[in-house]
């Protein structure tokens, strides 16, 4: 039996889909379905059981993990970086995670959990080391604190413990996230609705749209999770990114050209998209000033050293494929 917390969310639902492709249907899906939009993420999945998040925490705190659990993928979290209720964020992201860690340690069950590249703050370096951790918001702080708690000296569980610091993940099953969905999702919707897209103006010393992030397709993130399931002797904190930063302009152009191709129109260069008014810029919201990562690029040396080697999808291919799938669905009436 495999537990996936946040199993109705973005990465969790894609992970269960991948487990199903491995003929693993003995999955306990743990989540909070107060937001029924997440039902769309899981309606095509096969699971053994569903347990509400709060109920699952009570079970774990009172009697430990259910019998027969062989691994826990902890993907559940409050991932909204703009939430101002720090108490809520710490309860969901830190206290809940500690409960799972103790239960997994007691049962000697592997725990593979979602950390975040947000722990590195605005400037990096993006290398897995405590001196590089500079969280800028409650979400990032909760992730940083749990990483430190989980890997504190003397707290290491008898079984496998893996923290995966995700960089900018995009891909299918993220529509429920709303404003926290990926830039690729937002730009594709913008293009469908208006025939053009907009990005933030320059920030952090970067020109408009030239801010750089390590954009990674959710399929590659899932592969990293399953790699550690298949290699139970590997433990530690690992960056999960492509190792190559791309610009927001790269993402925008990939979206524009994917949509234009579906519409039977020719592909454009960046200068042509700008000249034709298909790409524009707007000021960064005040709430993001000073809290925005204008550059991220994962150092994936530790991930590679663990034995994981994957031909990551680059921005052009990954975003283009995703935008084409999403745009086609938007054009198809329900």
Catalytic residues: 139, 177
Detail the DSSP E strand segments found in the chain: 2-5, 27-31, 49-52, 71-74, 111-116, 161-166, 168-170, 197-200, 212-213, 215-217, 236-240, 246-247, 279-282
List, in order, residues 6 or more apart from 128 with CB less than 8 Å away.
Answer: 165, 236, 237, 238, 239, 299, 302
Tokens, residue 45 = 């999945």
164, β-bridge pairs: 114, 238
Both tokens of 116, joined, read 């975040």
One DSSP character per residue, 48-62 reads: SEEEEHHHHHHHHHH
**Cα separation of the two ends of the chain:** 35
Estimate to the nearest angstrom the gap between the alpha carbon of 55 and the chain centroid: 24
- Joined together, the tokens standing for residue 12 give 């969790």
Secondary structure of the chain: what % helix, strand, coil (to 5)? Answer: 45, 15, 40
Assign 79 to helix, strand or coil: coil
Task: Give the CA distances from residue 238 to residues 15, 126, 127, 144, 195, in Å, rounded to whole numbers and listed in that order.
Answer: 18, 11, 9, 13, 39
Beta pairing class for 246-247 and 212-213: antiparallel
């Amino acid at each position: 039996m495999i537990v996936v917390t946040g199993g109705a969310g973005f990465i969790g639902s894609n992970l269960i889909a991948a487990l199903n492709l491995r003929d693993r249907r003995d999955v306990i899906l743990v989540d909070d379905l107060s937001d029924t939009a997440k039902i769309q993420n899981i309606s095509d999945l096969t699971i053994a059981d569903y347990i509400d998040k709060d109920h699952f925490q009570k079970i774990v705190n009172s009697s430990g993990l259910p019998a027969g659990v062989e691994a826990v993928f902890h993907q559940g979290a409050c991932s909204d970086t703009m939430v101002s209720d720090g108490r809520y964020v710490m309860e969901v992201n830190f206290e809940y995670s500690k409960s799972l860690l103790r239960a997994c340690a007691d049962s000697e069950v592997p725990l593979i959990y979602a950390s975040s590249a947000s722990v590195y703050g605005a400037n990096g370096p993006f290398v897995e080391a405590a001196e590089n951790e500079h969280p800028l918001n409650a979400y990032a702080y909760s992730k940083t604190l749990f990483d430190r708690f989980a890997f504190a000296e003397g707290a290491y569980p008898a079984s496998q413990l893996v923290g995966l610091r995700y960089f900018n993940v995009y891909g299918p099953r993220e529509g429920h996230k709303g404003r926290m969905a990926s830039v690729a999702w937002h730009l594709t919707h913008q293009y469908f609705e208006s025939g053009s897209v907009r990005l933030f103006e320059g920030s952090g010393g970067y020109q408009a749209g030239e801010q750089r992030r390590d954009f990674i397709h959710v399929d590659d993130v899932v592969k990293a999770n399953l790699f550690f399931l298949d290699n139970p002797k590997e433990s530690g904190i690992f960056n999960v990114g492509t190792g190559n930063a791309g610009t927001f302009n790269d993402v925008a152009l990939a979206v524009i050209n994917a949509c234009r191709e579906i519409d039977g129109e020719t592909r454009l260069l960046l200068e042509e998209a700008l000249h034709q008014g298909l790409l524009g810029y707007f000021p960064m919201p005040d709430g993001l000033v000073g809290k925005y990562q204008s550059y991220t690029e994962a150092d994936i040396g530790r991930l590679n050293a663990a034995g994981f080697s994957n031909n990551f999808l680059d921005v052009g291919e990954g975003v283009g494929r995703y935008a084409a799938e999403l745009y086609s669905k938007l054009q198809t009436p329900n």
